[in-house]
Chains A and B, each alone.
Chain A
């Protein structure tokens, strides 16, 4: 009875096709053929990608840089420009004539760094523009929200910048993939460097942005540093977008802590770091040691926002344009030639994700999400920056080198703000996929 009433799971548009066709068969619905084996199967000579990036709000510059990278990737995929990382990517199935013989087209949208707006924008790409793959974003809340939408709708999600353990942990999805590193890997990569620089007898004070990403980072860094023998004096949660952090910084002064760890990102990090330095924390001696500040997640754009305050401050990052491997050099060269400045880590991850998706389609011989998932799971590749990389099948997380960086004391240009201290090998940051829980579930083709 119930089965009779409950037809098989349909995608977002299938039901639409039925009633839409009954009404007047508007073009966008009738293009959804009943017989298609997956949602938005491209019928023409193009295939559409959806680039969903923050265009307004605090991460607008990061979003703009992501969009630049995407446009460059599309150019390279379609055989225009100098090819960028297509010259260095190994293994490579793409032929520089689009993907599976179809030219790549794209549609863009504004996530506004809000889950609701990001999902609305992604839905437009899927329902109206026929996008087969959604990518982008600059925060974990958005990434997780859009990833689960893509899972439900039946398209592939290639995450942009998202650093929370949850994205490929408790909120992982079969249709979603993350190239960017995460908070756990930041902790694992940073800890040995911190030990070497600051010793194993330190008292740490955490200021943490009061939302899920902040908490996962606080937990990861705490675990990693406590394993070194560091003591955690206090971990204080600060409201997102607090602006003035002075009321959270003054208690640090006389807390007995000798390291301040700022689990902030974006504007929060720019403000809290600037203000912490103004409070003279870095000139302080506590317990006979020099007081230090650590920013576990760095980006060049944030370093730019914090100005000279970043000098000498340790952190981790996914990628940096000064890397000297062939892949990074090729990418920096074509990005710099196109736009006149080097790419950010967000741009890098977005560019790589696009190429990886396209290559997976080519290898799978289809755009069908389940086929692409299969091609990406357990895929090993090289020549995309970060050395040999594995897309782990168990949680769809990439494992590759993580960079420990330091604010450059003597920058030679306005882009030369971070200095790579160490490239931590993938093995050192690899963890067991089960520690963060979550279920990938089954892949969804949207029909």
Chain B
């Protein structure tokens, strides 16, 4: 029982991450009609926003200790973050919370990156074949990750969650389990709540604002909206920016769970496409539902009990589910007819 509950928690957590990444992707698919292979790179850039913020606020004052030499003969460096020498304990606190703090920086940065990408490149590809969209965005993804690699190296760069959230919460006790049976890391709980908030925020934005109404109308039938005299293209830039922000925030908050490296975008790319397609092209609720569904199924498939019956099932479960769903439901869970089908 406790094992199953824990796997459900894992699934929700994983699903939150999948849904966040897939959400932006399907937004761009649905409104702009662009197959964006650089979406994983946006996720990666978000994660590196957190790294950059951490490095900037953790900028160290380097003093040399001439009495103490390294084995290769240079003086030992004594490093102290400027922020600590200036602000004392407040400095420590800000450093400790660098991941949540970097959300503040990531939002404007990701908007700018999204705008530049859309205005500088993507807008010229709205009317081009999907194959060419794939080629150009894949090229862009490689270029972006290579730039990150040149700057930050290829090794993962660990980011710590705030000290208070570093350990695991004994949440089983709250619902009557023995102490220590159901424990779950605070940060993963935070991530789940965060993803739920962001998903809710995006939906609210699309449901409740005029802008969102036009975007939804555009997703449903771009031509008609165009005929109504609404310049949908102007709003594309904003939609792309929004998608970039969502992907970026998913990346920022994921850094304590997965030490970011330049390749993490590619690692998530295939998975996010599978999630979007299983959810159904152009359907935001579909993407979210598929994210959670795949997350939970993946968690269950990894249980030893399951693996002993079906060896290797955890390796292929995502793809197996994708195949089954696409065969049973031609357009994924909630896809509409005619979107990216022909």
Contacts and interface: CB of A to CB of B under 8 A. Distances in A.
A in complex with B:
yes
A283 B70 CA distance: 35
Interface in A180-226: 210
Contact of B155 (A210, A305, A329): A305
A283 B267 CA distance: 31
Contact of A280 (B9, B183, B298): B183
Given A251-B3, A306-B259, A333-B72, A246 B168 contact: no
B7 A304 contact: no
A251 B303 CA distance: 8
B63 to A, nearest CB: 13
Interface stretch (B118-126, B130-138, B156-164): B156-164
B298 A247 contact: yes
Nearest to B166: A278
Interface stretch (B23-31, B73-81, B214-222): B73-81
Contacts of A336: 70-74
Residue of A247, A275, A329, A412 with most chain B CB atoms under a 10 A cut-off: A247
Contacts of B7: 247, 250
A128 interface: no
Main secondary structure of the interface of A (DSSP, over half): helix
B304 interface: yes
Size category of the A interface is 35 or more
Nearest to A336: B72
A57 B156 CA distance: 12
A332 interface: yes
A413 B76 contact: yes
A57 B2 contact: no
A140 to B, nearest CB: 20
Interface string A297-333: 0000100111111000000000001100000010011
Interface string B96-115: 00000000000000000000
A321 B71 CA distance: 9
Contacts of B180: 253, 284
Contacts of A412: 76
B10 A247 contact: yes
Contacts of B303: 247, 251
Interface in B180-194: 180-181, 183-185, 187-188
Contacts of B268: 243
B158 A306 contact: yes
B315 interface: yes
B3 A254 contact: yes
A236 interface: yes
Interface string B298-324: 110011100100001011000000000
Interface string A40-70: 0000000000000000011111001000000
A250 B257 contact: no
B183 to A, nearest CB: 6
A108 B168 CA distance: 46
Interface in A89-146: none
A139 B299 CA distance: 28
B315 A246 contact: no
A237 B156 CA distance: 23
Given A270-B259, A278-B257, A333 B71 contact: yes
A136 to B, nearest CB: 16
Nearest to B3: A251
Interface in A258-306: 267, 270-271, 274-275, 278-280, 283-284, 301, 304-306
19 contacts: A58-B154, A61-B153, A236-B307, A244-B14, A246-B13, A247-B14, A247-B314, A250-B10, A251-B303, A251-B304, A254-B2, A254-B181, A279-B185, A280-B183, A306-B259, A308-B160, A309-B158, A321-B71, A413-B77
